[in-house]
Amino acid sequence: MLLEIAAQQFALHGFHKTKISEIVKEANVTQPTFYLYFKSKDAVFQELIQVFKEKLYNHVAHSKLPADVAKEGLLSRIAYGLSRLFEFFKQNENVARIGFVVSEEAKDIKVQMALKIEENLIEEVENGYFTTDINLNLVATTMVGAIEHLSITKLWTGVHSPEELAQDFTSLFLCGLKNN
Amino acid sequence: MLLEIAAQQFALHGFHKTKISEIVKEANVTQPTFYLYFKSKDAVFQELIQVFKEKLYNHVAHSKLPADVAKEGLLSRIAYGLSRLFEFFKQNENVARIGFVVSEEAKDIKVQMALKIEENLIEEVENGYFTTDINLNLVATTMVGAIEHLSITKLWTGVHSPEELAQDFTSLFLCGLKNN
Amino acid sequence: MLLEIAAQQFALHGFHKTKISEIVKEANVTQPTFYLYFKSKDAVFQELIQVFKEKLYNHVAHSKLPADVAKEGLLSRIAYGLSRLFEFFKQNENVARIGFVVSEEAKDIKVQMALKIEENLIEEVENGYFTTDINLNLVATTMVGAIEHLSITKLWTGVHSPEELAQDFTSLFLCGLKNN
Amino acid sequence: MLLEIAAQQFALHGFHKTKISEIVKEANVTQPTFYLYFKSKDAVFQELIQVFKEKLYNHVAHSKLPADVAKEGLLSRIAYGLSRLFEFFKQNENVARIGFVVSEEAKDIKVQMALKIEENLIEEVENGYFTTDINLNLVATTMVGAIEHLSITKLWTGVHSPEELAQDFTSLFLCGLKNN
DNA sequence: TATGAATGAGAGTTCATTCAT
DNA sequence: AATGAATGAACTCTCATTCAT
């Protein structure tokens, strides 16, 4: 409960504007109680980042394509993965905001994600699904920036569903504006 | 001088971790001196956001294409504009970080920029340069997220030049991965 | 405790020269403790004014004349009321100084008291206890000024008792210098 | 000019809320200029108190009764003196406020004035103009309190003229409420 | 009734954190 | 998902005052 409320507050206000006094007030406990369960403000924050990292790790680890999708084209496969990622972000908004947006570690996490995506892209190229002159790390980085900003402005605001986002995102990145 | 140092500090540490005491130490003056020039910490921050907004506005207002570029294809034109934008971000790193990344207003500013880009895209469509089924606001938003993240990870780190970024960015968004 | 010490300090030094640091030193606590109990320096001050206003209101509300006094003449009745007022001021010196002398609101409070006294005087006139050509609001205002100054110079310095003050005050105002 | 503006500000806001920065702004000079002419904030304040004391001393020294008034009764004589005093307060509102109301020295000055009035009263008694059982120092102190408060609430607000105040004040103190 | 530019000293206030129970 | 009461450390901001010109 405390951890959840902390997540909510950090996600909502960021690290500095979040006050322990506010967290405990929302949780209907006193400040010393907070320190029974967490070492410090920094510690909870780190714990929440850790939670996000683990969830993300699990998500990626279990992201095998269903057989039917695997057989379809590249586009379907990517769209499916993205849709699951946006779904994951939606289901875990608070920790995702913390680990992917507001924390200092978000930078590293996004770099890692970009590397992972780059890897996948390279594999696709190696498998002959497409060829390109564009620096694939740049592509991956671009995608990560897009994922973050779309989550903030369209996903977490409820403007678009994970599927819609994944759909348009994928056709945009695969086919470009000129080929739709 | 103070304003510049303030910009640097805010860009580096964000609003809350930036301390007046640090700004004035870097400027070799005492704290009251700060208050000779600015009403409050908030006030400088706002002033810097304003500076960014005005610079950005000017940049956009003066972004006419040179004659030779205007005659070339869509890709050249977009690449040119983007390259100039990244150049602008590079030349104004501190205020850009403040106005585009760390401030609360960054959100609004990015929304505005997305709207502007969307407008341009719509115009290109109307002029028959391309047609697409993808929601153009989503495309614009994606681009803005990409611009932000590329600036942070590739531009301001010196990994890529404005031109390189603009080049790859443009071909990616126009042609997609499959058509390069 | 803190409130009492604050009252003492404000009464002694006025608002501006009173320092939170001094209040807490006298109370043997640290400054943050002060803010556990009060929102701000202004807030305590206002609270003390409020305390005075309420005490004064209660005092007035419960100022019924005892049966034996009620039957006596006008002079006795007024002297009795005044004596009780001076007694009240003596028992509540600190808040009285704050609410009646040093605060900005003191002005209003004295105007109110003058109005109340004027009312009483009018009633006495209507009951035929005396008649006069003098503007009764002026009389009441004069009395209030006298009460304040006598409290400061004679009551709170211990030079005269409430009874002595009430006695002389009453014969002076009722009979004048020439008729004693 | 500076001194006058300082007087105005001190009279208006009291010592602590008056700022040198405000005084010089109103005088259209800079802060160092202020210190060319005065040693410190305290120093100007003291100077203004001194000005008031001297003016008051002069006023008292030159307060001989005109021949025609001198021949009239006690009441006329006192009323005349008071009227001149209120006139003096009205003509010198700012310094009077400072020296008689807001400064710490006001207390002493009022004590002095009470002593002077007491002296006069004693003389009148000795001259057989009236006899009384009331403590004459108390009477004088009462009068001083009344003078102060009437100045603040009725004279400086323009509600009553010096003459009106003197008139009612005198008949009240000489004859009392019951004998009018 | 000189000034532009600066500062020493200190005020009020906040917040993460802990002691004692 | 214990607490009442307190605090260390730090921060922003203000104001009378002065240096150098």
Segment C79-106, tens digit of pLDDT: 999 999 999 999 999 999 999 999 999 9
D52 vs B74 pLDDT, higher one: D52
**CATH code at position D141:** 1.10.357.10
Calculate how close chain D gets to C176, using CA atoms only, in Å: 4
Say whether the CB atom of B40 is under 7 angstroms from strand F.
yes
Residue C178: which pLDDT band, with cuts at 50, 70 and 90?
confident
Q: Could you tell me if residue C155 is inside a domain?
A: yes
Q: Which residue range forms the structural domain that includes residue A164?
A: 48-179
Q: Which residues touch strand E (CB under 7 A)?
A: A 18-21, 31-32, 34-35, 40-42; B 29-33, 36; C 18-21, 31-32, 34-35, 39-42; D 1-4, 27, 29-33, 36-37
How many residues are present in chain C? Answer: 180
The tally of domains found in chain A comes to 1
Tokens for C96, please give them.
Answer: 């009285």
With contact defined as beta carbons under 8 Å apart, do B158 and A162 qualify? no
Q: Identify nearest nucleotide to residue C32 by CA to C1′ distance.
A: F7
Amino acid at C168: D
- Range with the lowest mean pLDDT among A68-72, B84-88, B138-142? A68-72
As a rounded value in angstroms, the CA-to-C1' distance for A98 and E1 is 62
pLDDT at residue A32 above 80? yes
Tokens for B115, please give them.
Answer: 């709207």
| pLDDT for the residue numbered A168 | 96
Q: Could you tell me if residue D10 is inside a domain?
A: no
pLDDT in tens, D9-66: 999 999 999 999 999 999 999 999 999 999 999 999 999 999 999 999 999 999 888 8
- What distance in Å separates the CA atoms of residue B138 and residue A164, rounded to the nearest whole number? 10
DSSP states of B123-163 as a string? Answer: HHHHTTS---SS-HHHHHHHHHHHHHHHIIIIITTTSS-HH
Q: Could you tell me if residue C26 is inside a domain?
A: no
Q: Do D154 and C160 touch (CB under 8 A)?
A: no
pLDDT at residue D180 above 80? no
Protein residue minimizing CA–C1' distance to F4 = A30
Q: Do B149 and A121 touch (CB under 8 A)?
A: no
Q: Do D149 and C153 touch (CB under 8 A)?
A: no
Residue C64: which pLDDT band, with cuts at 50, 70 and 90?
confident
Provide mean pLDDT across the span D129-154.
96
| pLDDT for the residue numbered D151 | 98
Distances (CA, A) of C124 to C73, C76, C107, C121, C174: 11, 13, 26, 5, 12
Distances (CA, A) of D120 to C168, D109, D127, D140: 19, 17, 10, 9
Chain D hits for C147, Cβ within 8 Å: 145
- Range with the lowest mean pLDDT among A90-99, B7-16, B41-50, B171-180? B171-180
Q: Could you tell me if residue A59 is inside a domain?
A: yes
- What distance in Å separates the CA atoms of residue C3 and residue B140, rounded to the nearest whole number? 60
Protein residue minimizing CA–C1' distance to E4 = D30
D34 vs D132 pLDDT, higher one: D34
Q: Could you tell me if residue C22 is inside a domain?
A: no
Q: Do A134 and B174 touch (CB under 8 A)?
A: no
pLDDT at residue B180 above 80? no
pTM reported for the whole predicted model = 0.94
Query: Could you give the dihedral angle defined by the CA atoms of residues B85, B90, B94 and B96, in that order, rounded to the nearest 10 degrees?
Result: 10
> Nearest chain B Cα to A13, which residue?
B104
pLDDT in tens, A39-52: 999 999 999 999 99
Looking at chain C, which subunits does it touch, using at least 3 CB pairs closer than 8 Å as the criterion?
A: D
pLDDT in tens, D49-108: 999 999 999 999 998 888 888 788 888 999 999 999 999 999 999 999 999 999 999 999
Helix A136-150 and helix A74-91, axial crossing angle in degrees, nearest 10: 40
Residue C72: which pLDDT band, with cuts at 50, 70 and 90?
confident
Tokens for A113, please give them.
Answer: 């994600």
| pLDDT for the residue numbered B59 | 97
| pLDDT for the residue numbered D173 | 96
As a rounded value in angstroms, the CA-to-C1' distance for C34 and E14 is 12
Tokens for C132, please give them.
Answer: 């006069």
User: Which residues of chain C (35-64) touch nucleic strand F at CB < 7 A?
Assistant: 36
Q: What is the mean pLDDT of chain A?
A: 95
Say whether the CB atom of A51 is under 7 angstroms from strand F.
no
Q: Could you tell me if residue C13 is inside a domain?
A: no
Q: Is chain A touching chain B, with at least 3 CB–CB pairs below 8 Å?
A: yes
Q: Could you tell me if residue A7 is inside a domain?
A: no
Residue D4: which pLDDT band, with cuts at 50, 70 and 90?
very high
Provide mean pLDDT across the span A123-130.
90
Q: Could you tell me if residue D116 is inside a domain?
A: yes
Q: How many alpha carbons fall within 13 Å on the CB side of residue D107?
A: 10
Q: Do C177 and D121 touch (CB under 8 A)?
A: yes
Say whether the CB atom of A21 is under 7 angstroms from strand F.
no
Provide mean pLDDT across the span B28-56.
98
Chain D hits for C41, Cβ within 8 Å: none
- Range with the lowest mean pLDDT among A83-92, C33-42, C68-77? C68-77
